[in-house]
Amino acid sequence: MRLGVFAVLYGEKPLAEMLDHIKDKGLNTVEIATGGYVGDAHCQPEVLLTDENKLAAFKAAFDERGITISALSCHGNGLHPNPQVSNAHDRVFEHTVQLAARLGVDTVVTFSGCPGESEHSRYPVWNTCPWPHDFSEMLKWQWEEKVLPYWRQKHRYVKEHGVRVAIEPHPGFVVYNNETLLRLRQECGKQIGANFDPSHYFWQGMDPALCIRELGEAIYHFHAKDTKIEAVNVSRNGVLDMKPYRDIANRSWIFRTVGYGHHEEVWREIISALQLIGYKGAISIEHEDGLMTNEEGLTKAIAFLRTAIIRNDAGEMWWA
Lowest mean per-residue pLDDT among 101-110, 122-131, 266-275, 303-312:
303-312
The yes-or-no verdict on residue 311 having pLDDT over 70 is no
pLDDT, tens digit, for every residue of 75-101? 999 999 999 999 999 999 999 999 999
Q: What is the mean pLDDT of the chain?
A: 95
* pLDDT at residue 116 in the model: 98
Instruction: Give pLDDT tens digits for 183-235.
Output: 999 999 999 999 999 999 999 999 999 999 999 999 999 999 999 999 999 99
Share of the chain above pLDDT 90, in %: 95
CB atoms within 10 A of CB 291: 13
From the number of C-beta atoms within 10 Å of its C-beta (0-12, 13-18, 19+), residue 223 rates as buried
Length of the chain: 320
Q: Which amino acid is at 178?
A: N
Q: How far apart are CA 297 and CA 287, in angstroms?
A: 6
Q: Are strands 253-256 and 164-167 parallel, antiparallel or unpaired?
A: unpaired
Whole-model pTM? 0.96
pLDDT at 309: 73
If you average pLDDT over residues 109-132, what whole number do you get?
Answer: 97
Question: In this predicted structure, what is the pLDDT of residue 317?
Answer: 46
pLDDT given at position 314: 37
Residue 318 has pLDDT above 60, yes or no: no
pLDDT score at 320: 35
Confidence class for position 123, pLDDT limits 50, 70, 90: very high
Burial 31-56 (b: 16+ CB within 10 A, else e): bbbbbbebebbbbbbbebeeeeeebe
* pLDDT for residue 28: 95
Q: What is the pLDDT of residue 312?
A: 40
pLDDT band of 310, cuts 50, 70, 90: low
* Average pLDDT rounded to a whole number, residues 283-290: 97
**Cα distance between residue 223 and residue 211, in whole Å:** 14
Task: Report the alpha-carbon angle 237-256-114, nearest 5.
Answer: 65
**Per-residue pLDDT, 308:** 75
What's the pLDDT at 313?
36
Residue 194 contacts residue 170 (beta carbons within 8 Å): no
Residues 130-172 pLDDT 10s? 999 999 999 999 999 999 999 999 999 999 999 999 999 999 9
pLDDT at 24 > cutoff 60: yes
Structural domains in the chain?
A: 2-227+263-308 (3.20.20.150)
